[in-house]
Amino acid sequence: RRIYVHNGKGGKDRVVYISNDAYHALVRYLRVRPPSRTKRLFLVDKGPHRGKPLSVRGIQKRMEYYARMAHLKISSHHLRHTMATQLLNADADIVTIQDLLGHTRIKTTQRYCKVSNLKVERDYFKAMELVMEKMVGDGFMT
């Protein structure tokens, strides 16, 4: 499943992929979402701003609230970093991760991704296996 995001972070348009669970959660949300003429997905649900688009800060505040209630020290930004790291450690290409995060520069994406020693070890042995096969094939080793 995918969602088209118009004018997202950095004013960019992009496609965001979501799981079936996330899709069904969005469907449930849309059933109780305050009525509005805006095309924005998330809206303020009570108070004087009811039905108006939820701001980035509003989303951050909700995230902080639910994290506090669950006794977690996380933020929406932590989730982006975690997703990037987990994708990289699952062998996703760095350019794919860059696109998913909406980054213009690969260096920004690299700062998001914390490579685990397991990934480094896997990459090393995979590359060395290819090197050794080539050396044997070229007659350098018997």
**DSSP annotation of 9:** G
| Residue 142 pLDDT exceeds 70 | no
- Phi-psi region at 11: left, alpha or beta (left = phi > 0; alpha = psi -120 to 50): left
d(CA 78, CA 55): 18
pLDDT tens-digit readout, 32-88: 887 788 888 899 888 999 889 999 899 999 999 999 999 999 998 899 888 998 898
Global pTM exceeds 0.75: no
Residues in CB range of 114: below 8 A, 6 or more apart: 81, 85
What number of residues does the chain have?
142
Task: Give yes or no for a contact between 63 and 75, defined as CB atoms under 8 angstroms apart.
Answer: yes
